């Protein structure tokens, strides 16, 4: 996996890590905006917490870090081969991943936990309320996509198409919009085998901090701020690349 990542990020046309990772963060922000729009439209239902608690608020704040041990890396910005890298993301075709997300709204916080299985075009995604209670499930066997409620009631089914591809459905940083977003990189360094990128989008008054595994290329966490106010947090709590499936994970009910 590390060799594949290095090959994708090699010289001779490959985009620099500096620019790649900042773009990864930038378009994850777009993904968050799309999810929120879908929620407002009633297409997706996010669990809602009426009252902001201290523990919930603290979950949005950044992890305490001391910058004395950082290995700063000076890398020139080069966007020439962004399409080459993004076309290959994520770098593993088979994996299992657990994700936890927290969103801030005007009325409080929304929290979501997601488990994802992927093998080629097949995938299964389980959405949870908080971190454990199953809310609904999406299963794709490569030909058909089915959406189930928490009680396994079939909500809808559709023939597989690009619109239902994993990258368009899953709760992982997505790179489907590459049009002209202006951003400014404010920090970039390597620490504990993770690349860390901080960047801002002046037009939206947003700032993101992104952690990416140097071994696998997996985006481990994203923190998004509006000014100094934390508005969202995305964390991969566990993942297994080249996951060994038992054979029935993608069977339709």
pLDDT in tens, 93-146: 788 999 888 887 777 777 788 899 999 889 999 888 765 677 789 999 989 999
- Residue that has been written with the tokens 């962004």 in this structure: 82
pLDDT in tens, 11-66: 443 334 344 344 444 444 444 444 443 344 343 343 333 333 333 334 444 443 43
Is the separation of the CB atoms in 26 and 208 below 8 Å? yes
Distance CA 232, CA 223 (A): 6
Radius of gyration from C-alpha coordinates of the chain: 18
Is the separation of the CB atoms in 32 and 25 below 8 Å? no
**pTM: predicted TM-score of the whole model, two decimal places:** 0.64
Q: Any idea where the domains of the chain sit in the sequence?
A: 2-241
């Amino acid at each position: 996996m590390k060799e594949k990542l290095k090959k994708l990020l090699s010289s001779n046309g490959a985009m620099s890590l500096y620019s790649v990772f900042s773009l990864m963060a930038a378009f994850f922000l777009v993904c968050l905006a799309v999810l929120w729009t879908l929620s407002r439209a009633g297409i997706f239902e996010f669990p809602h917490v009426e009252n902001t608690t201290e523990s919930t608020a603290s979950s949005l704040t950044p992890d305490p870090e001391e910058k004395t041990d950082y290995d700063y890396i000076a890398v020139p910005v080069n966007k020439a081969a962004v399409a080459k890298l993004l076309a290959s993301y994520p770098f593993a075709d088979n994996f299992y991943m657990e994700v936890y997300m927290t969103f801030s709204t005007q009325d409080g916080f929304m929290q979501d936990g997601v488990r994802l299985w992927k093998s080629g075009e097949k995938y299964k995604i389980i959405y949870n309320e908080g971190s454990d209670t199953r809310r609904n499930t999406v299963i794709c066997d490569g030909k058909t996509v089915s959406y189930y409620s928490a009680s396994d009631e079939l909500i809808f089914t559709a023939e597989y198409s690009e619109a239902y591809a994993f990258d368009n459905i899953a709760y992982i940083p997505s790179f489907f919009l590459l049009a002209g977003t202006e951003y400014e990189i404010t920090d970039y360094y390597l620490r504990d085998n993770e690349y860390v990128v901080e960047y801002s989008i002046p037009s939206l008054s947003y700032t993101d901090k992104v952690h990416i595994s140097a071994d696998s290329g997996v985006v481990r966490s994203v923190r998004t701020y509006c000014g100094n106010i934390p508005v969202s947090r995305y964390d991969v709590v566990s993942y297994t690349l080249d996951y060994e499936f038992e054979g029935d994970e993608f069977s339709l009910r």
